Amino acid sequence: MKYISTRGSAPSLDFEGVLLAGLATDGGLYVPETWPSFSKDDFRALRGLGYAETAYRVTKPFVGNSISEDVYQQILTDSYATFDHSSVTPLIQLDSDLWALELFHGPTLAFKDVALQLLGRLFDHVLSRRGQKIAIVGATSGDTGSAAIEACRDRDNIAICILHPKGRTSEAQRRQMTTVHSPNVQNIAIEGDFDACQDIVKELFADGEFRESVNLSAVNSINWARVMAQIVYYVYAAVRLGAPDREIAFSIPTGNFGNVFAAYAAHRMGLPIKHLVIGSNSNDILTRFFESDDMSIKGVQPTLSPSMDIQVSSNFERLLFELYHRDGDAVAAAMKQFRSEGKLSVGEDRLNLARANFSAARFSDEETLAEIREVHEKTGYVMDPHTAIGSLAGKKFSNTGVAMIIAATAHPAKFKEAILKATEKAPKIPHRLAKVYEKEERFKVLPSDASAVKTEVYKLVESLQ
C-alpha cells in the first residue's frame, strides 16, 4: 500500500514511512492511495473472530509488506491484551435499536488507548529494525499525555517526556501519568499554564540541532496509523450486530475528527454504514460546517467534555481531500485560505456530498448533564460527558430499524464531578484508576523555560543508551 499527501506534493510513502513521518512534508496528511475493498462475504467471514484477529484482517491491506505477518499478529495480540475486557471493545445494549460501543477498557480508560497501544509497539518494532531511537516530547492538559505514556513505557527505543501545567490537571489525570515508574518516562510539571507547556514543545521542535541530536518525534492525532487502528472497532461492532446484512449507523462525539474519519474509512472499504453522526459540544465548528458550510474559527470555550474543546479539527483535511475528489492542489489552496482568513466554505455540491454520509449536532453542558441523568434513570447505565453528547446526537438522527451505535469514548469515572452532578451518585472507580491513588508519584517541577526541559530530555536519552 502506498500513501499520498492530501496536499499533493509530498513524496508518496509506504506504511513504515507514514508511521514515522506523521505529517507530510507539504503540510498535508497521509491517506491511502486507494481504499482497500472488502466484499460482503469478506465481512461475513469476520463473524465470531476475536478482536486481535479482526484487527489483523482489517488492517493487513494498509500495512502491506512493511511488517512480517507473524510479527504483526503478535504485535496486535500484545496491544489488545492490555485491555481489561475480553472482547476489548464490548457493545452494551441500551434500547431496542441503540447500543454503546465501549472504547475505554484500555490502560488509561479512554478511547485513545485503542490506537496508541498499537502505535507504541509499531514504533518500537520499526525503530529496532532500523537501529534507531527517538525521543517523544509532548504537552498535555489532561488525557492524551497518559495514553501516550502508557503506549511508550518500557519500550527500548523510545524516550518519552510529557509536560503538564503544574496544579492545573485533575489529580486523577496527573496520577495516571506520574505513577508510571519506567526508566524511559519523564514527567515534568511546568510552572505555567497549558499554553506555556505547548510553547516549550514548539520551541524544542524549532531548534534544529536539538531536534536532530535526540531524534525528536511526536505521537499526534494526524498519524495515519492511529486512524487505521480505529477502523477496526467499527467493523468489529458492525459485524457483531449483523452487518453487512443489517443496517448500521454510528454516532461519535467528535473533536479532531480522527475517530469519525476512521468510521468513514470503514465505509469506504465497503462496510455498509447507513449514516455517521457527529456530536459537538459548544465548540461547534464541525456542526456549523455540516449545517451551513461555515467552517470558521472561534475562541475555545471550556466545557464538561474537554477532549472536544478544540478550534480546528486537524483530521478534517482527510475528508476535504475526498470532497475535492482527491485533488491535492485544491486542498492545499483551501487550507491556505483557511489559515489566512480563519474560515472555509466548500460550496453546495461538496457540502451535499459530505451530507450524504454525515450529520452533525451541537449540545450544551446542561443538555449533556440532563442526558447522563436520563439515561441513568431509564437504564442504570452511566455515561461520561463525551459519550452523552454522542448519545444525544445519535438519538436526534436515529431511524427505526437501523441499529445506532454510540461511540463511548471515556470511562465515566474519569469525570467524577459531572457524574455526581447529573446522577447524585459518585461513579464506581475501576481498579485501574483506584491503583494510581496508591502509587508514589514521580515528577520534576521546572520553570517555564525551554532550556531546562532540553537538559532533562538529554539526560533521559543518555540514561537509555
Ligand X SMILES: *Cc1c(COP(=O)(O)O)cnc(C)c1O
Identify whether 444 is a catalytic site residue: no
Q: Which of 257, 290, 397, 443 binds ligand X (CB under 6 A)?
A: 257
Which of the stretches 67-75, 104-112, 197-205, 355-363 binds ligand X when contact is defined by CB under 6 A? 104-112
Range list of H helices, 303-449: 316-323, 328-341, 348-355, 365-379, 385-396, 416-423, 431-435
Q: Figure out which of the listed residues 146, 187, 259, 281 binds ligand X, where binding follows CB under 6 A.
A: 259
* Min dist. Cβ of residue 262 to ligand X (A): 8
For 450, other C-beta atoms within 10 Å of its C-beta total 17
CA angle centred on 253, ends 312 and 230, rounded to 5°: 90
Select 13 or 260, whichever has its Cβ closest to ligand X.
260
Q: Which of 120, 192, 258, 394 forms a contact with ligand X (CB under 6 A)?
A: 258
Nearer to ligand X, 433 or 446 (CB): 433
Residues 255/310, Cβ–Cβ less than 8 Å: yes
User: Cα–Cα distance between 263 and 251 in angstroms, integer?
Assistant: 10
Site stretch for ligand X (CB under 6 A), options 55-63, 92-100, 249-257, 421-429: 249-257
CA distance 347 to 344: 10
CA-wise closest residue to 219 among 140, 306, 111: 140
Among residues 6, 79, 176, 256, the one that binds ligand X under rule CB under 6 A: 256
Measured in degrees and rounded to the nearest 5, phi and psi for residue 85 equal -130, 135
Q: Which stretch binds ligand X (CB under 6 A): 234-242, 247-255, 264-272, 371-379?
A: 247-255
Give 120 or 255: the residue with its C-beta nearer to ligand X. 255
Q: How far is CA 327 from CA 21, 22, 350, in A?
A: 22, 21, 13
Answer yes or no whether residue 308 interacts with ligand X by CB under 6 A.
yes
Q: Which of 114, 354, 151 is nearest to 228 (CA)?
A: 114
72 vs 289, beta carbon nearer ligand X = 289
Give CA separation, 98 vs 239, 323, 399, in Å: 15, 30, 10
Distance CA 260, CA 21 (A): 22
- C-alpha distances in Å from residue 284, one per residue of 87, 250, 350, 395: 33, 19, 20, 18
Q: Which of residues 339-398 bind ligand X (CB under 6 A)?
A: 386
Catalytic residue among 112, 133, 166, 454: 112
56 versus 257: smaller Cβ distance to ligand X: 257
Cβ proximity to ligand X, 9 vs 357, nearer residue: 357
Choose the binding region for ligand X from 238-246, 251-259, 350-358, 451-459 (rule: CB under 6 A).
251-259
Residues 128 to 187: which contact ligand X by CB under 6 A? 143
Residue 112 engages ligand X in binding (rule: CB under 6 A): yes
At 13, the amino acid letter reads L
409 binds ligand X (CB under 6 A): yes
Contact range with ligand X by CB under 6 A, out of 62-70, 84-92, 243-251, 256-264: 256-264
Give the C-alpha separation, 238 to 271, whole Å.
8
Binding residues for ligand X (CB under 6 A): 110-112, 143, 221, 253-259, 307-308, 386, 409-410
Residue positions annotated with a catalytic role: 112
